[in-house]
């Protein structure tokens, strides 16, 4: 696939979950080794954040139906091989680097995830924001900005 075609493909994927013509956030967090690759946590966070008006892209919403089916039926979060991981991470790093991406909202456990560390590193290098996402007792979003370099531990 030509580079231009790939970039257009990734942009169209990202546009499925967010209005990428406007500023948007990228939802980042741990996946591998979590039941169902942590998709339920990504879905809950995306629903909460969108309910409060945030425009965001969640990587858990971007996979083709075959990958999604394998992931959602994986109790250990280990069914994807290294080629799948490389392909999906490359896609996600492109999304984080898009000009309208404001930065990363990170889920708990992000700092133990190679993928989330790579995503936040790219965001940091590009001068984008990194915020930690938590839910308050009422189910509303709590966003805590991370200090520069606080999250980069590669």
User: What is the pTM assigned to this prediction?
Assistant: 0.89
Show the domains of the chain with their CATH numbers: 3-145 (3.40.50.10400)
Place of tokens 């990428």: 20
pLDDT at 56: 94
State the angle between helix axes of 82-97 and 3-17 in degrees (0 to 180), rounded to the nearest 10. Answer: 80
**What would the pLDDT profile of 112-140 be if each residue is shown by its tens digit?**
999 999 999 999 999 999 999 887 777 77
Q: Which of 121, 129, 146, 113 is nearest to 42 (CA)?
A: 113
pLDDT confidence of residue 149: 57
Half-sphere exposure of 81 (CA within 13 A, CB side): 1
pLDDT tens, position by position, 19-77: 889 999 999 999 999 999 999 999 999 999 999 999 999 999 998 888 888 888 888 88
Please say if the pLDDT value at position 5 is more than 90: no
């Amino acid at each position: 696939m030509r580079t231009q075609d790939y970039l257009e493909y990734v942009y169209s994927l990202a546009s499925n979950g967010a209005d990428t013509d406007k500023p948007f956030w990228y939802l980042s967090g741990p996946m591998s080794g979590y039941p169902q690759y942590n998709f339920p946590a990504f879905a809950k966070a995306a629903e909460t954040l969108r309910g409060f008006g945030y425009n965001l892209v969640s990587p858990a919403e971007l996979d083709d139906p075959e990958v999604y089916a394998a992931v959602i039926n994986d109790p250990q979060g280990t069914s994807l091989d290294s080629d799948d991981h490389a392909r999906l991470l490359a896609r996600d790093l492109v999304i984080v680097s898009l000009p309208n991406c404001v930065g990363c909202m990170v889920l708990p456990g992000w700092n133990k995830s190679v993928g989330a560390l790579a995503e936040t590193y790219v965001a940091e290098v590009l001068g984008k924001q990194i915020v930690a996402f938590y839910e308050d007792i009422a189910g509303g979003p709590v966003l805590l900005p991370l200090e520069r370099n606080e999250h980069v531990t590669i």
